[in-house]
């Protein structure tokens, strides 16, 4: 899960990992380049997930954390879709832009949520 932050989140004309993406991209189509980066949030959530993974009896916490991780990745996909749409592209074009880091984050969140 932590590794997902270092994988490409955007691909195409170049690639950007989560440390190149401002956190504000989750709520704004014009986030700028400054500010807190999404990579730090992904690393923190992944580390928390790893920590909860070894502690027995936190099933509800893992479910909530996994859902939060998947929500962050899904929100990134939606915001990317909005940006691609504003540039005249369709939903299928979004998959040309998304990098593997987004998919790894979604899968990681699902695995954290499903762990008993």
Structure tokens at 105: 């984050």
pTM above 0.75, yes or no: yes
Phi, psi for 87 (deg, rounded to 5): -90, 5
Structure tokens at 47: 């580390």
Q: Please choose, from the candidates 80, 75, 15, 11, the residue with its C-alpha nearest in 3D space to the C-alpha of residue 42.
A: 75
pLDDT digits (tens, 9 = 90+) for 66-115: 999 999 999 999 999 998 999 898 888 999 999 999 999 999 999 999 97
Task: Give every CB contact of residue 3 below 8 A, 6+ residues apart in sequence.
Answer: 104
The secondary structure element, H or E, covering residue 96 is helix 91-97
pLDDT digits (tens, 9 = 90+) for 8-61: 999 876 678 999 999 988 998 777 777 899 999 999 999 999 988 888 888 889
Write down the pLDDT at residue 13: 63
């Amino acid at each position: 899960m932590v590794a997902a932050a270092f994988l490409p989140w955007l691909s195409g004309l170049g690639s950007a990992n989560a440390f190149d993406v401002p956190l504000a991209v989750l709520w704004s189509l014009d986030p700028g380049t400054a500010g807190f980066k999404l990579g730090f949030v992904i690393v923190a959530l992944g580390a928390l997930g790893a920590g909860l993974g070894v502690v027995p009896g936190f099933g509800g916490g893992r479910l909530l954390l996994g859902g939060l991780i998947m929500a962050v990745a899904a929100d990134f996909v939606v915001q990317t879709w909005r940006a691609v749409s504003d540039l005249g592209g369709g939903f299928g074009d979004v998959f040309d832009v998304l990098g593997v880091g987004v998919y790894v984050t979604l899968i990681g969140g699902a695995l954290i949520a499903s762990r008993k």
